[in-house]
Every structure is written in C-alpha cells, then in structure tokens.
C-alpha cells in the first residue's frame, strides 16, 4: 500500500507523527510551512527527525510533485492533523498547495481521503465544509479519543485516534483496547 500523509499547521501534530510511525507500506509525506512550525513548537522535532518515517518528503509549495497528478498511484491520502483552513479549501475545490491539490486528486480519482480535523468548537461553516467533503467521499475522522479503553497517558489517547485511522485503511493493529 502507498499512502500520502499530510501534516498541516494546527495543534495535534503528534497524531500525524504517530501515524507515520505506525502506518505499514510506502509513506509519502507533505508538510505545510505552518506544520513545520507546529512540529518545532509542539515537539521540538525537525524535518530530519521525520525522514526515517517517510520514503518521500515533498514541500507543500511543490505543485510538480507526484501526488499533484492523478496518474501518480497511491491508495489513500490522510491529512492528520488537518486545519479547518485546509479543509475549507478542499471543500471549495481550491487546489493552491500540494496538500489541497493531492486531496482534490484523491477525491476525483475516487481514492480514500481521510481527514483528521483537530479543532473545537466548530462553527456552522466548519460543519458544512465537513459535511460537503463527507458527501464527496471523504472520511471525516475528528481527533477525539475515547475513554472506554481507560487511557492513562497522552500516548494512549494518540494511539486511539491513530488506531481509528488505521482501521479505515484496513491495517491490523493493537494500539487500543476494543469495545467489548
């Protein structure tokens, strides 16, 4: 399996980092400029630290990168975390960055697009954008950890959300205790 993973500039970048660590298969990474800043602010990590978890890394302003084309084969795109600004652009059909263009390609090619928004509360506009994308075929998977598994650490909460993403791409995992 080949995945395009995008990290945008909202809080919660650790979800995306854990996803890159856990995702089996080839991983192509796109990170926005604000994502790079949040990476440093929230984790102290650099792009060099992410290199081991991606076969390819593309700049968000590189619209000539392979994920910008429908002829580039990949199985799914995951935007984790996804800013509401990025989500709104995708919902409106604006493809002015590699992340938004790759998401547009994913939808038009009928591939799996998983969007992990990390924002609260949500305005009516935000909810309508999420609904529009869900109707277009995207999976909206908010970064909302469950508590039935009795999380004890932040890692437990990260693992729950990342495990739900892995469920959507059909990857087996033991990141959290399942219900029942």
Minimal CA–CA distance to 106: which of 169, 25, 12? 169
Per-domain residue ranges for the chain?
A: 2-169
In this prediction, residue 53 carries a pLDDT of 96
Which pair of tokens denotes residue 86? 């990025």
Give pLDDT tens digits for 138-165: 999 999 999 998 999 999 999 999 999 9
Give pLDDT tens digits for 90-107: 999 999 999 999 999 999
In a 3-state reduction of DSSP, which class is residue 20?
helix
> Alpha-carbon distance 174 to 160, whole Å?
10
Strand residues in 64-149 grouped as ranges (E): 76-82, 112-117, 139-140
Residue 32 has pLDDT above 90, yes or no: yes
Minimal CA–CA distance to 87: which of 134, 20, 154? 134
Strand partners, 26: 2
CATH topology of domain 2-169: Rossmann fold (3.40.50)
> Alpha-carbon distance 161 to 165, whole Å?
7
Assess contact for 27 and 52: CB atoms under 8 A: no
Report the sign of the C-alpha dihedral through residues 97, 138, 150, 50, in that order.
negative
Number of residues assigned to the chain: 180
């Amino acid at each position: 399996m080949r995945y395009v993973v995008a990290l945008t500039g909202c809080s919660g970048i650790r979800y995306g980092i854990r996803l890159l660590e856990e995702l089996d298969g080839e991983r192509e990474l796109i990170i926005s400029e604000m994502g790079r800043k949040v990476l440093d602010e929230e984790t102290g990590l650099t792009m060099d630290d992410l290199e081991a978890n991606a076969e390819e890394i593309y700049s968000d302003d590189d619209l000539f990168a392979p994920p910008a084309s429908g002829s580039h084969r990949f199985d799914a795109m995951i935007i984790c975390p996804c800013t509401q600004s990025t989500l709104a652009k995708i919902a409106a059909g604006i493809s002015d960055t590699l992340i938004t263009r790759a998401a547009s390609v994913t939808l038009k090619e009928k591939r799996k697009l998983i969007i992990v928004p990390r924002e609260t509360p949500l305005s009516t506009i935000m909810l309508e954008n999420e609904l529009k994308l869900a109707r277009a075929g995207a999976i909206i998977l908010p970064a909302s950890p469950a508590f039935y598994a009795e999380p004890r650490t932040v890692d437990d909460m990260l693992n729950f959300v990342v495990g739900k993403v892995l469920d959507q791409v059909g990857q087996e995992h033991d990141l959290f205790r399942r219900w029942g």
